[in-house]
Amino acid sequence: MPRYELVMITKALERPETVTVVKRAVQSLLNKGAIVRQIENLGERKLPYIMRAHSENFTQGRYFVVEFDGPTTLVGSMTQLLKQDLDIIRPNILKKEVKLFPDPPCPGMVTKEPNYYSPNPTAWFGAEDVKLEKYNKFDKRLQVRKEKRQERRELRKQREKEQQEMQ
């Protein structure tokens, strides 16, 4: 069964009435064959705009997110059933993608955990090691440049001495 998320906005009722509204919605899901995974109360908030439901205007609402697994035939009938409930302002059922593995981090992102998604084995040891390695390479290049500059200065000094001796 696919995983779904029911995002519903209920009227801003007192706690006992809110509990009965959520129980009714969850019981309807269970009766239709759904498996409820999680219920999250996002609290009472001012609505982004005036919402009209059941011939009433609402400016305040209580947000809930119910995560559940259910048959695909459940979505349409459940949406209609929840729209008929007088205490629910806005029901919305969305299909939720279940990820077996977390998304790989961005390629430019510095993390302390090993990056196993990278084809570069140096990234497996952690970003700090890779950063140090890059710094060491850069440091070596700087050292080589300094040595070459020093050699050129010494050559110039020798030429100047030779020219002074010739005069």
Q: Which of 13, 7, 6 is nearest to 61 (CA)?
A: 13
Look up the pTM and report it.
Answer: 0.59
Task: Give the separation between CA 138 and CA 146, rounded to whole angstroms.
Answer: 13
Strands of the sheet containing 3-10, edge to edge, are: 35-53, 56-69, 3-10, 88-95
Q: Is residue 3 a contact partner of residue 14, using CB atoms and an 8 Å limit?
A: no
- pLDDT value of residue 103: 67
The residue behind tokens 């059933």 is 81
Tokens of 80: 């209609």
For residues 44-50, average pLDDT: 95
Tens of pLDDT, residues 71-120:
989 999 999 999 999 999 999 999 988 777 666 666 665 555 555 555 55
Residue 100 per-residue DSSP state: S
Task: Give the separation between CA 117 and CA 129, rounded to whole angstroms.
Answer: 17
Q: What is the mean pLDDT of the chain?
A: 84
The residue behind tokens 């349409």 is 76
Residues 6+ apart with CB under 8 A from 110: 127, 131
- pLDDT value of residue 141: 75
Exposure on the CB side of residue 35, measured as CA atoms within 13 A: 6
